[in-house]
Structure 1
Amino acid sequence: MVSSRYNWECRSLLNQYDPFLLDIYKTEMGYGIDRFFLLSYCLACCWSGLGAKDLRIVKQWAEVDFIFPNETARQSALTNRFYVPGNSVPIDVDVQHRKGPAKSRIFVTLPRFDEGRPVTLGTVEEDGLIKGYPDYSWHDNQGSNCDGLTSVFRIAIDRCNRMWVMDTGKIGEKAVCSPQLLAFDLSTDQLIYRHRPDPSSYIASSLFITPVVDVRGDRPNDCSDTFVYVADVSGFGLLVVDVLRDRSWRVTHRYMYPYPSHGSFTIDGESFDLMDGILGMALSPYVIGKDRYLYFHALASTTESVVRASLLRNDSFIDDSNADPQSINEFSGERPNQSAAEAMDSDGILYFGLMEPPGVWCWNSGTEFSTRNFHPIAINKETLQFSSGMKVVKNIKGEEELWLLTSSFQRVMTGSISSDRINFRIHAEKIPTLIENSACKHPSKGDYVGKYADRISPQIKRRRYKYGSVAFL
């Protein structure tokens, strides 16, 4: 019934428009959020050849299951409630494309919100089962061995074939280990780096969930200049890790906090509250000799903020974590509703999900951050409900692909999830195919990558700043 109503609305609205006048009506779309997104939805869903494409579903599950070393290990996990069938929730995805006969590997994370998750990071096997990475022994500890993996929300694979893993050290709300950042060489699957932040770099409520890797160098194999920026979703800040010098510091700013007015979510008719701070993050493309921008937003928000990476890489934050109020800025435009994960390609196009309509959208960073410059990539009310993981990945041919993990997260939050329907999906498609006819691909003349980030991000010399009137006493 609902589908019929949407189709009727689409047909009625599209009958008013001549296909040859669409460029004229693009301006009209900018006059109101509701009108813009209704038009976009109709164009994407009801007019073939225009708007959104289909994202290929690579894997899907009603509930995930795992590979255990043997039946004894499986029974032990069941007995100790380290494995509770149906409890595991995949959150993030990343992909390693390998040359030669070796097949590509799909990695997923399954954070330990609670008991019953036997593996927190694994590879997706051909039959859909999850195999612990690098092997099961890293996970068979449930916090008893802090040299293993406790709970991982998201990962990041860099151009140097390293996978960066941020371990929160928490099971549920309980901190059983210190947080740690690890890197694995994907050529050998060996641990090559481990960093445990100093306790001064986080607070009791900290939950490190999204790592973004900033690798710079004049040569393709130059990987020494590496920084990792990690979102602290509950501590409302950033952890900055200088890998070469093996040190880290905390950065805080008001834009990393949740917005109370956007802490309620409704997806597919089910509602829940979640006051999560900074979560979605993406780096602008690296150009030798130029600065990069880190784009970010809180889950409980509709805004997007931006900061120069050079500011974050300043180690004076070791002494004072508070960023200058003017050094991190927020775009004046807003999304129509909340977004979780995001990713940026080499052309400076940002991809992000929306809760309503459920789908994936793009924005060219050379244009103003505004609803009139948000364009649909894929919209599907059933399969794209909550985009918790998103990556731009280069394949062996050098083509960029968009990978996405979506879930019925609202049912996880409300406790209504069941195994009689598909709840989790991994999607993928080549980016040139996705944006073939998209306005994101063709910004206006004179626009360039990061143009509007440049406008609102002045070069500010780092100085100490403390929030609150006490700073002036």
Structure 2
Amino acid sequence: MMKNDRSQPAWELLLLIATVVSIFAPVSGYSPFMQVRHGTVARSVEEANSTAAPVLANPYIAPLVALKNKGSKDEFATSQGKDVFEVVYQWKIIDFLYPNLQSRNNAIRTREFIPENNLPLGVDRFRNRIFITTPRWNPGVPATLSYLPLPVQDPSVPLIPYPDWSFHTKPKNPDCSKLMSVYRIFVDECDRLWVLDAGVIDTLTNLQQICPPKLLAFNLHTDELLFTYVLPPEQVKQDSLHTNVVVDIRDGQCEDAFAYVADVWRYGITVFSLREFKSWRTTNYLYNPSPSASDYNYLDLNFQWSDGVFGMTLSPVQNDGERMLFYHPMSSFNEFQVATSVLQNETIWQNFGLAKAFQPIGSRGKTGQSSTSGLARNNVQFFTLVQQSGVGCWDLTKPYNRNNLGVIEKNLDKLTFPNDLKVDREPKQFVWVISNKLPVFLYSKLDYSEINFRVLSADVQSAVLNTVCDPRNPANLAHKQEPECEF
């Protein structure tokens, strides 16, 4: 929640009024990459602190009169009828590559390794390796970040701890300079692997913050640890859970990167500046979950999650130098945006923030909850559809409504609870997805005689071919009726 403003300057009051008017007026629904351009926000500390009110971007949504109509169907515009995703790796149960059989047997005997307590969660790809995370949900997870080779020789091989076993600490007598519990990772354009270590263990049984949350980065050519940054205590709330990270780099300036870290349980995004080697926490009510989207049904399970801000995607840099962060809470049907210049301006967050810079852009409709998302070079965003066992897509040049949202593939057997998604940076881009039956793992019991975990991939170009997400196809400017929005 934002702080109460007891001395709000006049320009901020005018800004609030003007923004409210603009939100409730019909808007074009266009993204910044179409011919109709939108306004921009302050791009520097000097602009943000000036007495002139910054001009905010308009949301890319259909007129709200359409959003208030009820009785719509939940399907997206198009769905592929063919199998798009190929299974790359799959497992009935997770195993790790130990130095020798005796080491593995000893780990099982001492219960440092309990195979059924391991679940793969995060994924990313760099050249001839795929990286996978295994957070310490329960006791018995021996390594929390691993890799596997590409191309695949055996689709069910044990995970290889990254960069090696020595970087993984044990919950008993922990060394917090090492890896404790990694949720997600991010390969940047400078060939670095960013690692988000939440520092928590036993998330399901007895949550303990054993080590402070931290960011690490590795050189993917040498596997050398480049730096570790520990989040300051004042930026970590009680019961915080840091679960996702994206990295913002402009014009190849590798040392001027910003990382955006999502706190899914305490509803914040922490911004880390590599150049300044410091961070600050940002808050907004649009980071919060929606009550109507907090009820889930998966197979025969019904459960409630109040997960906040989670999925994040960076737009391309526009001609004016601005870049948008598209994001959504896990328990939400809606997509939101904020200009990264607002997030990167620490001065704003030392005061009261710039609340109206955060805006809804559209709805995925009922059962449209999504965990993570990624953007390809053709300006197509891919996103998971966890309740639909599928992967959706959106061409950023088109309005964000369900006439322009496509489904790449739905498959309950293959994409059973798609939990993480990345788009790699290879010359021929692929979408990578982990499906892991997480609700069954959490609330029931997995059947270890069948395949439970999969890493899947799809060629970006083939995935969107002949769908509404295909950049060659025009936008559908008719507004499909949406259910009433709840933010």
> TM range, normalised to the smaller chain?
0.7 to 0.9
**In the alignment, does 2:476 pair up with 1:437?**
no
Residue in 1 aligned with 2:133?
109
Measured in 1, the distance between the counterparts of 2:377 and 2:318 equals: 10
Q: Which runs of 5+ in 2 are unaligned?
A: 1-66, 477-487
Deviating above 4 A after TM superposition, structure 1's stretches of 4 or more consecutive aligned residues are 30-36, 38-41, 443-447
- TM normalised by structure 1 equals 0.79
**In the alignment, does 2:177 pair up with 1:147?**
yes
Contact 2:336 2:361 in 1 (8 A): yes
Measured in 1, the distance between the counterparts of 2:360 and 2:393 equals: 18
Higher helix share: 1
Contact 1:151 1:167 in 2 (8 A): yes
**In the alignment, does 2:165 pair up with 1:136?**
yes
Of 208-217 and 381-390, deviating more is 381-390
Q: Which of 214, 221, 232 in structure 1 is aligned with 2:248?
A: 214
**In the alignment, does 2:262 pair up with 1:231?**
yes
Of 196-205 and 184-193, deviating more is 196-205
Q: For residues 436 and 73 of structure 1, do their structure 2 counterparts lie closer, same or farther at Cα, with a shift above 3 Å needed?
A: same
* Shift of residue 81, structure 1, vs aligned partner: 2.2
Measured in 1, the distance between the counterparts of 2:365 and 2:161 equals: 37
Q: For residues 81 and 309 of structure 1, do their structure 2 counterparts lie closer, same or farther at Cα, with a shift above 3 Å needed?
A: same
Residue in 1 aligned with 2:26?
none
**In the alignment, does 2:406 pair up with 1:375?**
yes
Q: Which of 181, 196, 199 in structure 1 is aligned with 2:233?
A: 199
Contact 1:96 1:105 in 2 (8 A): yes
Residue in 1 aligned with 2:189?
159
Contact 2:348 2:354 in 1 (8 A): no
**In the alignment, does 2:37 pair up with 1:37?**
no
Alignment of 1:59-78 (within 5 A): 59-78=89-108
Alignment of 1:282-297 (within 5 A): 282-287=313-318, 290-297=321-328
Residue in 2 aligned with 1:311?
342
* Shift of residue 413, structure 1, vs aligned partner: 2.0
Alignment of 1:19-98 (within 5 A): 35=73, 37=75, 40=78, 44-45=80-81, 53-97=83-127
Measured in 1, the distance between the counterparts of 2:318 and 2:288 equals: 30
Q: For residues 134 and 40 of structure 1, do their structure 2 counterparts lie closer, same or farther at Cα, with a shift above 3 Å needed?
A: same
Q: Which of 426, 429, 436 in structure 2 is aligned with 1:400?
A: 429
Contact 1:364 1:443 in 2 (8 A): no
**In the alignment, does 2:248 pair up with 1:248?**
no
* Shift of residue 400, structure 1, vs aligned partner: 1.5
**In the alignment, does 2:213 pair up with 1:175?**
no
Q: For residues 319 and 362 of structure 1, do their structure 2 counterparts lie closer, same or farther at Cα, with a shift above 3 Å needed?
A: same
Q: For residues 288 and 139 of structure 1, do their structure 2 counterparts lie closer, same or farther at Cα, with a shift above 3 Å needed?
A: farther
Contact 2:342 2:348 in 1 (8 A): no
* Shift of residue 38, structure 1, vs aligned partner: 8.1
Q: Which of 413, 417, 429 in structure 2 is aligned with 1:386?
A: 417
Percent of aligned pairs with the same amino acid? 30
Contact 1:360 1:379 in 2 (8 A): yes
Highest relative contact order (Cα 8 Å, sep 6+), 1 or 2?
Answer: 2
Residue in 2 aligned with 1:422?
451
Contact 1:53 1:434 in 2 (8 A): no
Residue in 2 aligned with 1:273?
304
Opposite residue 437 of structure 1, the aligned amino acid is N
Aligned residues: 399
Q: For residues 67 and 444 of structure 1, do their structure 2 counterparts lie closer, same or farther at Cα, with a shift above 3 Å needed?
A: closer
Alignment deviations for residues 360-391 of structure 1 (CA, whole Å, 9 cap, x no partner): 11111222211111111111121112221111
Alignment deviations for residues 260-281 of structure 1 (CA, whole Å, 9 cap, x no partner): 2222211223222221111111
* Shift of residue 335, structure 1, vs aligned partner: 3.0
Query: What SS class does the counterpart of residue 434 from structure 1 fall into?
Result: helix
Contact 1:124 1:130 in 2 (8 A): yes
* Shift of residue 39, structure 1, vs aligned partner: 7.6
Contact 2:399 2:475 in 1 (8 A): no
Query: What SS class does the counterpart of residue 384 from structure 2 fall into?
Result: strand
Query: What SS class does the counterpart of residue 331 from structure 1 fall into?
Result: strand
Opposite residue 355 of structure 2, the aligned amino acid is P
Contact 1:168 1:209 in 2 (8 A): yes
Measured in 2, the distance between the counterparts of 1:382 and 1:133 equals: 30
- TM normalised by structure 2 equals 0.77
Q: For residues 416 and 313 of structure 1, do their structure 2 counterparts lie closer, same or farther at Cα, with a shift above 3 Å needed?
A: same
**In the alignment, does 2:391 pair up with 1:360?**
yes
